[in-house]
Chain A
Amino acid sequence: MFKPLDPLLHSELRLAVMSLLISTEEAEFPYIKEQTGATAGNLSVQIDKLSAAGYIEVEKTFKGKRPCTLCRITPTGLKAFEEYIDALKSYLEK
């Protein structure tokens, strides 16, 4: 039986962002942009969606005089990611 896949995570860019944040405690917006190869606009939209779902938290801060956007995964996001992996397994095992 296939388990349902979280539609919020079942998107290339959002999944890439979550996977990146899994291995680091937090990451800056430019780093995520570089690693995922996404455009700033698209990435910003997807980050907002993940943030609205409570999967990640976004902190607007300053690095010297320059604004800096930090993203980090939340416990809700971590749980959702684990469930997504678990669901993914049911598809791959078939």
Chain B
Amino acid sequence: MEENKNLTAERSLEIITEQIERSRRTITQNSSKSLICWGVCVFVFALLIAYLWKNCGGPVWNILWGAMWLFGCLGEWLISKHKEPVGPSFVGKTVGQVWAIFGIFIGAIGLFFCLNGLGLLSVDFTLPHGHLYINLTSIISLCFGIASTTTGAILKNAFMQICGLIAGLGGFFVALLLPGVEQLYVMAAVALVGLILPGVAVYLRNKK
């Protein structure tokens, strides 16, 4: 790109559009790698925990979700080392914040029920007419869907928004119909539809 004294208004507009689009593409491309990383982690761990739950020992294997978090962070660190060196942007930061808030909510709920299940907390949720039943997979699926759809809206990606809606609402209702261990298959499906598929689609679309 050299100095051009006879720059037309059309060419100026073209340069501006081109550069903003390039930058947006890089940010979207970087975001898609994180979506795929966390999607694969949830998918693999949901199926692994389901297998172990069924074959050796029961729901205690849910403790492995903690290990998934470590794997996810490791993956995120590896991705950050190979990301294109685009600086922080409003879009990139907003997408990061959406998923960080999702992580905080789900992490807090998961930790609470884990500690409660292990007997380290002795909270007994009751309603006036009996015990309260909380379907954690439904709640997580719904939060997944909200975060995924919001990310799609920020990145202006309709496919991601549709996937987020299907994963969130589908996961919420299907998990209500299934008992215990079967819900982990719902979790795997939610990760596949809500994270992996849109992540791969965005990655391929923006690949140079």
Contacts and interface: CB of A to CB of B under 8 A. Distances in A.
Asked if A and B are interacting partners, one says yes
Interface of A: 5, 10-13, 15-16, 19-20, 22-28, 30-31, 35-38, 42, 70, 72, 85, 88, 91-92
Contact of A11 (B3, B16, B85, B91): B3
B116 interface: no
Given A5-B12, A12-B11, A19-B15, 13 more contacts: A11-B4, A13-B1, A15-B16, A19-B19, A19-B20, A20-B19, A23-B24, A23-B27, A24-B23, A70-B87, A72-B87, A85-B16, A88-B9
B22 to A, nearest CB: 5
B27 to A, nearest CB: 8
Interface SS of A by simple majority: helix
Greatest chain A CB density within 10 A among B11, B13, B27 is at B13
Nearest to B8: A91
Greatest chain A CB density within 10 A among B2, B27, B84 is at B2
B127 interface: no
A23 B20 contact: yes
B3 A31 contact: no
Given A16-B15, A20-B23, A26 B87 contact: yes
Contact of B1 (A28, A31, A36, A70): A36
Contacts, number: 82
Contacts of A38: 1
Nearest to B20: A23
Contacts of A24: 23, 27, 86-89
Nearest to B93: A25
Interface string B1-37: 1111001011111011011101110010000000000
Contacts of A88: 9, 12-13
A19 B16 contact: yes
Contacts of B27: 23-24
Given A16-B1, A22-B20, A31 B86 contact: yes
A70 B19 CA distance: 18
Contacts of B87: 24-28, 31, 70, 72
A88 B9 CA distance: 6
Contact of A27 (B11, B15, B18, B86): B86
B1 A12 contact: yes
A88 B91 CA distance: 26
A42 B86 contact: no
A12 B22 CA distance: 16
A76 B28 CA distance: 28
A3 to B, nearest CB: 11
Contacts of B4: 11-12
13 contacts: A11-B7, A12-B3, A13-B2, A19-B20, A20-B19, A20-B22, A24-B27, A27-B86, A30-B85, A35-B23, A42-B1, A88-B13, A92-B9
